[in-house]
Structure 1
């Protein structure tokens, strides 16, 4: 028996609507309360990428008998955004949105959180704030901190200003596709590029701005949280596209910090690492086959 995979809406405490979808094997009914009998994988998205980004990998997860929760962050896909709250968006607030979703769904423990880019950062914040709520964390293609926290040029402000000036997200989407995927891959995968373009164009300008604010926040810094993950989750895996700018180097440093935290608790060997050959920033798309081999193996280990 499978769960209904239609898109649903959850009204959050601040009045926003959070768009989500659950699919895969359904847990057995239990008179004693919610059931976690089917391992659940939660997928968390990158900036400008609603949850359908994951659809090819979701099919693979279903084949391995996982239940899957997908959701759209604020102002992405079917999730709404309060324009008055855009500047107050942080990774703490993004993590709290997911906490409200899991509580509403009565999901007490997630087998794995898989996040790409800002979805990975959200996962780190969530796990640090809610120890034991996630068993395994997969961190993919994320920066370690806000550019404003370390005094390097901030690319987000200009992008937000350009989108607001244009009154649409079209140019941002085209620029993002070029950054994420290499030219040879785009030329060989035109249908997949168009699928991604159609998905990304559903991002609202103020939703894009809100998530950029989280990335710009001077308090956004994964490094102080890295050492705490050993006490919050059972296992961690870091995945990065080979061609994703300098992230193979910076994520290797993040991995060392996470491993040190596990080692301090006598949990050595719990942090895995994979570089997806030829892939860019969203390696579940342009590196799907290798990505799924590494990550699915980690989920089942």
Structure 2
């Protein structure tokens, strides 16, 4: 990434007021005295902001002030003593309130847009429902509506097993995750054509902690966005929501079509893309977001 010409990069690490043992790392691309609208970005499971959003920041940093942060126990947000990672884990209500705490720490009352990917996209919906006065538009990329119904297959159980089997668990999971994130021939071609980005993603996945991985999976195993979408719809804010899915991202395209009908939100399906649409199809994704939040 080239040096930022107009922005001052602020980096920090702070204790959450509502969970004092937990620290959250953030970076703020801000152009002092510019009055630029603020956009906040929220990460997927097993990722960190330094790797995940490079293309987005490159595209938007001269038009918006950008907040990036690592969700609990991911990236540079460290593990916390005494936390029940493998049992209770986390909820999306907690993760949404963590995002609000980042804004409080930076002294920002309201952001122009919240853009989330995967787990971060689910966080964006809950944030909009719980903190409506603090955000304008949200971009929900790669989220489903709810976790698997009781008695149905839990897709996360095999991943937890691999991740927690010894010190190399997350490294063993990395290649499986990469193949799932960038599926099929288009995904393989992207990774082959972008070896530096491929290696950055592998390193990111290997460096993720099993504790943080499982703690956030507990949120993904126990969520339902229906009440959040109902609140957004009742407030007349449905058109403040853009749902985005990669056409090759398993069941998520169909799930997002159903979510759009339920919520009256805007919908975009990005062809020949898997889960990490903001990277694999960065140009198309950024153009969609640009037009939506303008």
- Shared fold, TM over 0.5: yes
Q: How many angstroms apart in 2 are the aligned matches of 1:111 and 1:135? A: 5
Q: Answer yes or no: is the 8 Å Cα contact 2:8–2:31 preserved in 1.
A: no
Structure 1 unaligned regions, length at least 5: 29-36, 260-270
2:258 aligned residue (235, 253, 257): 253
Deviates more, 1:132-141 or 1:159-168: 159-168
2:71 match: secondary structure: coil
- Note the C-alpha offset of 1:2: 4.6
Q: Do 2:113 and 2:293's aligned partners in 1 also have CA atoms closer than 8 Å?
A: yes
Match of 1:68, SS state, is: strand
Q: Which runs of 4+ in 1 moved over 3 A?
A: 1-4
Question: 1:10 maps to which residue?
Answer: 14
What whole-Å deviation, never above 9, does each CA across 1:163-210 have from its counterpart, x for those lacking one? 121223112221110001122322222222112222333311101111
Using the alignment, how far apart are the partners of 2:176 and 2:195 within structure 1?
16
1:206-242 Cα shifts (integer Å, max 9, x gaps): 011111111112xx10122212213274611111111
| Length-normalised TM-score, structure 1 | 0.87
The 1:173/1:27 distance shift into structure 2, 3 A limit, reads farther
Mapped contact 1:50–1:200 kept (Cα < 8 A) = no
Q: How many residues are treated as equivalent by the alignment?
A: 277
Structure 2 SS opposite 1:280: coil
List per-residue Cα deviations over 1:66-98 (Å, max 9, x = no partner).
000000011110002335232231111111111
Matches for 1:68-217 after TM superposition, within 5 Å: 68-82=66-80, 83-86=82-85, 87-147=88-148, 149-168=149-168, 169-181=170-182, 182-217=187-222
Once residues 206 and 27 of structure 2 are traced to their aligned partners in structure 1, the CA distance between those partners, rounded to angstroms, is 19
Give unpaired runs (5+ residues) of structure 2: none
Q: Does the 8 Å contact 1:140/1:238 carry over to 2?
A: yes
Match of 1:39 in 2: 37
Alignment RMSD = 1.8
| Offset, 1:104 | 1.3
In 1, the alpha carbon distance for the partners of 2:236 and 2:13 equals 29
TM-score when normalising by structure 2: 0.89
